[in-house]
Structure 1
Amino acid sequence: MSVTTLSTGTDYEVLANKFRPIFEKIAKGTLDREQKRQLPVEPIKWLKEAGFGAVRVPKTYGGDGASLPQLFQLLIELATADSNLPQALRGHFAFVEDKLNAPQSASRDKWFERFVAGDIVGNAWTEVGTVKIGDVITKVSQKDGKTVVNGNKFYTTGSIFADWIDVYAQRAHDKSDVIAAVKTHQAGVTVSDDWDGFGQRTTGSGTAVFQDAEVEAEDVIDFNQRFKYQTSFYQLVLLAVQSGIAKAVERDVSQQVRERHRVYSTGNADQVKDDAQILQVIGQISAQAFTVETITLRAAESAQRAYLARFSRNDEEEKAANIAAEIDSAKAQVVASELVLRASTDLFNALGASAAKATTSLDRHWRNARTVSSHNPLIYKARIVGDWVVNDKEPPYVWQIGSGNPEKAKQQEKAKVAA
Structure 2
Amino acid sequence: MPDTTPHARPRVNTREPFPALPRPSAPAHVITSDAEAIEIAQALAARFAAGAAERDREGWLPIEEIDAYSQSGLWAINVPRAYGGAGVSYATLAEVIATLAAADSSIAQITQNHLTILAHIDLDGSEAQKRELFGLALAGHRFGNAFSELHSKNVASFETRFVEDGDDVIVNGEKFYTTGALLAHYVPIVAVGEAGQGALVFADRAAPGLTVINDWSGFGQRTTASGTTKIVNVRVPKSRVVPIAAFERPTAAGAISQIIQAAIDGGIARGALAETIAFVRERSRPWIDSGKDKASEDPFTIALVGRLVLNQHAADALLERAGRLIDAAVAEPTEHNVNAATLAVSEAKVLTTEAALDAASRLFELAGTRATLLSHNLDRYWRNARTHTLHDPVRWKFFHLGNHALNGVNAPRHPWN
Class of the TM-score when normalised by the shorter of the 2 chains: 0.7 to 0.9
| Cα distance, 1:40 vs structure 2 | 1.3
Match of residue 358 from structure 1: 374
Match of residue 275 from structure 2: 252
Match of residue 298 from structure 1: 321
Identity over the aligned pairs, expressed in percent? 27
Match of residue 76 from structure 1: 98
CA deviation map 1:359-400 (0-9, x unaligned): 112121111111122111222221122112111222211268
Deviates more, 1:111-120 or 1:371-380: 371-380
Q: Report the Cα distance in structure 2 between the residues aligned to 1:398 and 1:215, rounded to whole angstroms.
A: 26
Q: Report the Cα distance in structure 2 between the residues aligned to 1:114 and 1:153, rounded to whole angstroms.
A: 24
CA deviation map 1:185-237 (0-9, x unaligned): 22221111222211111112011111111212122132224683222222111
Q: Report the Cα distance in structure 2 between the residues aligned to 1:341 and 1:156, rounded to whole angstroms.
A: 24
Match of residue 89 from structure 2: 67
Aligned pairs (5 A) from 1:22-171 = 22-59=44-81, 61-102=83-124, 105-131=127-153, 135-143=157-165, 146-171=168-193
Find the structure with the greater CA-based Rg: 1
| Cα distance, 1:61 vs structure 2 | 3.7
CA deviation map 1:150-206 (0-9, x unaligned): 1001111111111112211111x3222222111112222111122221111111201
Q: Is contact 2:263–2:352 with CA below 8 Å preserved after alignment?
A: no
Instruction: Describe the SS at the equivalent of 1:122.
Output: coil
| Change over 3 Å in CA distance of 1:351–1:93 after alignment to 2 | same
| Change over 3 Å in CA distance of 1:245–1:261 after alignment to 2 | closer
Unaligned runs of 5+ in 2: 1-30
CA deviation map 1:71-123 (0-9, x unaligned): 11111111111111221111100111122335771221111211110011111
Aligned amino acid, residue 380 of structure 1: W
| Cα distance, 1:62 vs structure 2 | 3.5
| Cα distance, 1:268 vs structure 2 | 3.4
| Change over 3 Å in CA distance of 1:134–1:118 after alignment to 2 | closer
Q: Report the Cα distance in structure 2 between the residues aligned to 1:387 and 1:261, rounded to whole angstroms.
A: 46
Q: Report the Cα distance in structure 2 between the residues aligned to 1:399 and 1:116, rounded to whole angstroms.
A: 24
Deviates more, 1:261-270 or 1:379-388: 261-270
Aligned pairs (5 A) from 1:309-320 = 309-310=332-333, 318-320=334-336
Unaligned runs of 5+ in 1: 1-8, 311-317, 401-419
Q: Report the Cα distance in structure 2 between the residues aligned to 1:262 and 1:148, rounded to whole angstroms.
A: 63
Match of residue 385 from structure 2: 369
Q: Report the Cα distance in structure 1 between the residues aligned to 2:243 and 2:285, rounded to whole angstroms.
A: 62
| Change over 3 Å in CA distance of 1:39–1:133 after alignment to 2 | closer
**Which one of 400, 410, 417 corresponds to residue 384 of structure 1?**
400
**Which one of 290, 310, 316 corresponds to residue 287 of structure 1?**
310
Q: Is contact 2:121–2:129 with CA below 8 Å preserved after alignment?
A: no
Match of residue 404 from structure 1: none
| Cα distance, 1:30 vs structure 2 | 0.3
| Cα distance, 1:354 vs structure 2 | 0.6
Q: Report the Cα distance in structure 2 between the residues aligned to 1:135 and 1:285, rounded to whole angstroms.
A: 39
Match of residue 298 from structure 2: 275
Aligned amino acid, residue 217 of structure 2: D
Match of residue 314 from structure 1: none
Q: Is contact 1:72–1:300 with CA below 8 Å preserved after alignment?
A: yes
**Which one of 200, 204, 217 corresponds to residue 221 of structure 2?**
200
| Cα distance, 1:280 vs structure 2 | 1.9
Instruction: Describe the SS at the equivalent of 1:13.
Output: helix
Q: Report the Cα distance in structure 2 between the residues aligned to 1:399 and 1:51, rounded to whole angstroms.
A: 25
| Cα distance, 1:272 vs structure 2 | 1.7
Match of residue 191 from structure 1: 212
Q: Is contact 1:124–1:165 with CA below 8 Å preserved after alignment?
A: yes
**TM value normalised by structure 1:** 0.86
Q: Is contact 2:167–2:238 with CA below 8 Å preserved after alignment?
A: no
Instruction: Describe the SS at the equivalent of 2:145.
Output: strand
> Displaced runs of 4+ in structure 1, greater than 6 A?
none
**TM value normalised by structure 2:** 0.86
Q: Report the Cα distance in structure 2 between the residues aligned to 1:398 and 1:104, rounded to whole angstroms.
A: 21
| Cα distance, 1:20 vs structure 2 | 2.6
| Change over 3 Å in CA distance of 1:99–1:276 after alignment to 2 | same
